[in-house]
Amino acid sequence: MINRVVKNAEEAVKDITDNMTLLVGGFGLCGIPENCISALVKKNVKNLTCISNNAGVDDFGLGLLLQTKQIKKMISSYVGENAEFERQMLSGELDVELIPQGTLATRCLAAGYGMPVIYTPAGVGTEVAIGKPVRTFTYNGETKEYLEEKAFEADFAIVKAWKGDTAGNLIFRSTARNFNPMMAMAGKITIAEVEELVEVGQLDPDQIHTPGIYVHRVFQGEKYEKRIEQVTVRKRG
């Protein structure tokens, strides 16, 4: 087995440089690679393109990279919790591409599967389709238009798992499975930070979500805040 362990986040992101494209796992603030994001802030790389379902909040997650203006373009689905993101977008400081959530997920899968494009009915006839090819297909007896979307091409994928072993096999918990596994497949180089790092053979093979073949570097993270993006409670009684 290849040992893919690196010492820490700083070592894991050492060759991420200016102008690169990053896939960043997580759903809201759940399952985000907190340690790697902090390391990128300290490294002060510039002009990043970040592909992520969310853009974090003002003082956490990708919001930290937005505060320091290290991101030049965001490709996301949901960005409604970040006032600094909104300010930069409206002022023209930040290039933004908003795409349907299912399209985001499938473009990640396509990259992982080695497929150059996908076809989806989502976005046909809207601003999302401007400048993109549209083809007509008959499927299940119904003829309709489908939008051609390209698979993502990312230099790195940065994900966060619950458990991982030294060979890079990963297990995700609950909502963290939404985007992390497919992004782990899609990066040219995939970095995984984990809450618990174990030896090969200590993970149940039936529980592994991402095989180590997709992972190039893994390290055990520390000091996870695990914030909740929107705390909603219900009155008793």
| CATH code: domain of residue 42 | 3.40.1080.10
Measuring CA to CA, how many Å separate 38 from each of 33, 73, 79, 101, 182? 9, 18, 20, 26, 22
Tell me what pLDDT residue 7 has: 95
For the chain, the domain total comes to 2
Same domain, 128 and 175: no
CB distance 39 to 10 below 8 Å? yes
Tell me what pLDDT residue 201 has: 93
- Rounded to whole angstroms, how far apart are CA atoms 181 and 186? 9
Which range marks the domain in which residue 135 is found?
A: 118-150
Tell me what pLDDT residue 223 has: 84
CB distance 219 to 5 below 8 Å? yes
Residue 78 is assigned to a structural domain of this protein: yes
Angle at the Cα of 41 (from 36 to 47), degrees rounded to 5?
Answer: 105
Tell me what pLDDT residue 180 has: 96
Same domain, 62 and 155: yes
Tell me what pLDDT residue 227 has: 74
* Cβ-based neighbours of 114, under 8 Å, separated by 6 or more: none
Per-residue pLDDT of the chain (237 residues; tens, 9 = 90+): 789 999 999 999 999 999 999 999 999 889 999 999 999 999 999 999 999 999 888 889 999 999 999 999 999 998 878 889 999 999 999 999 999 999 999 999 999 999 999 999 999 999 889 999 999 999 999 999 999 999 999 999 999 999 999 999 999 999 999 999 999 999 999 999 999 999 999 999 999 999 999 999 999 998 888 777 777 788 876
pTM of the prediction?
0.91
- Rounded to whole angstroms, how far apart are CA atoms 198 and 161? 12
Same domain, 28 and 83: yes
* Cβ-based neighbours of 12, under 8 Å, separated by 6 or more: 6, 36, 39, 191, 193, 217, 219
